[in-house]
Amino acid sequence: MVETINPVVHGERRRAYRLALSLHILGAMTAAAALGGLLGLMGALAGAPWGAPGLLALAAIAALYALRESAGAPVPLPARRGQVPSWWRSFFSPPVAGLLYGLALGVGFGTYLTFGTFVAVAAAAVLGGDPLAGAAVCAPFGLGRGVAVAWANRGAARDPGTTVARLEDLALGRSPRLLNSATLAAVTGASLAAGL
């Protein structure tokens, strides 16, 4: 996937690279926001928000995933363990493929997830019962997934293999795990405080 959104693919055409990268980020943010809106609508149709019980449920979900990230607790991630279709790279132009890859990755649960933070965010969208709020809380996930490609392509990352290695380092690194743990702990604390 990142081979499509790498400067080396575009050679000296920096504008084409920036277009493919921008469409990738836009696609990821749009898909995440759309998913959040849909989850918020589903919550609203089911009668959300549920006040204190909903907040306590969110606290429990966030706490479970905080334990997963900080202590390695065996909490499963509800995600498809697959990748985006590689044939898009050869069938579509780089900008279109970049957009499609962004859309596929922005949904979150349709591809591999490394951390459980998005599960808690998705739960917050459902439990909030507001499509606009759901879109607002999920959109940053898509932005993060899209911007990760730009981060991996920085500096000397002119080789798609280097970009892939940097993305793997980012996904498996200690700093992202600590950041996700801290975020989940904060969600747990805030939800408990508001729900009690």
Residue with tokens 């905080």: 66
Q: Which sequence spans correspond to the domains of the chain?
A: 7-195
Q: Which of 20-24, 59-63, 152-156 has the lowest mean pLDDT?
A: 152-156
pLDDT, residue 170, reads 75
Enter the tokens of residue 18: 């920036």
- Read off the pLDDT of residues 139-192 as tens digits, 9 standing for 90 and up: 999 999 989 888 887 765 556 677 777 777 777 788 889 999 999 999 999 999
Looking at per-residue confidence, does 116 or 148 come out higher?
116
Q: Which residues are CB-contacts of 88 (< 8 A; sequence separation ≥ 6)?
A: 4, 97, 100, 101
- Read off the pLDDT of residues 117-128 as tens digits, 9 standing for 90 and up: 999 999 999 999
Distance of CA 151 to the CA centre of its chain: 15
Residue with tokens 């969208």: 125
Read off the amino acid at residue 195.
G
Q: Which residues of 99-126 are buried (b: 16+ CB within 10 A; e: fewer)?
A: bbbbbbbbbbebbebbbbbbbbbbbbbb
Q: Would you say residue 55 has pLDDT above 80?
A: yes
